[in-house]
Amino acid sequence: MAAPESELQKAIYDALKGSAAVMAQVSDVYDDTRLSDAQKAAGAPWGAEDGYISFGPESTVADDHDCIAIDEITVQLDVWSRRVGRLHCKQVCHAVRQALKDVTLTLPTHGHLTTDLVLQRILPDPDDAITHGVMQFTAHVEEVG
């Protein structure tokens, strides 16, 4: 049985990849941006859309209630844009928010209870050509088994 965090990440990844609105604005969704030379030569991670999404820091806190094992999992999604201005980054963040609000995240073995956006920030990157969006979602997952 997979860890609740792994199942949640896969469900979020699938929801984002399955969203036409998200994928129309970014090249891809990455777990890890350490890319091969071949991927970089092909334009990754930016692609023609000049943007991508990556998974950032994550934390898990046990939040057990009445003999029910519940994990509170906070997942950060980072939105990256090389387009001039902040508008593209904001549009991607909005599409991500809608994609995760409009679907029921189904986990193979654990029970998904809720996923809520708790923070969204648009901030400048040390590289002046990049705008960085930070989105933190908190999910409550019932551990099974």
Residue position matching structure tokens 């019932």: 142
Cα(28)–Cα(46) distance, rounded to whole angstroms?
8
pTM attached to this predicted model: 0.93
| Cβ–Cβ under 8 Å, residues 131 and 89 | yes
Residue position matching structure tokens 């679907």: 103
Neighbours of 87 (CB within 10 A): 12
- Per DSSP, 113 falls in state E
For the chain, the average pLDDT equals: 94
Cα(86)–Cα(90) distance, rounded to whole angstroms?
6
pLDDT value at residue 65: 75
Residue position matching structure tokens 């000049």: 50
Residue position matching structure tokens 């994550």: 58
Rounded mean pLDDT, 35-48: 92
Burial 96-112 (b: 16+ CB within 10 A, else e): bbebbeebebebeebeb
pLDDT value at residue 68: 84
**H-run or E-run covering 75:** strand 70-81
Cα(57)–Cα(75) distance, rounded to whole angstroms?
7
**Poorest-confidence range of 30-39, 58-67, 76-85, 99-108?**
58-67
Instruction: Retrieve residue 70's tokens.
Output: 């519940």
Taking 90 as the threshold, does the pLDDT of residue 77 lie above it?
A: yes
Q: What structural domains and CATH numbers belong to the chain?
A: 4-142 (3.30.2000.30)
Report the DSSP pairing between strands 51-62 and 29-30: parallel
Q: What's the N-to-C CA distance of the chain in angstroms? A: 8
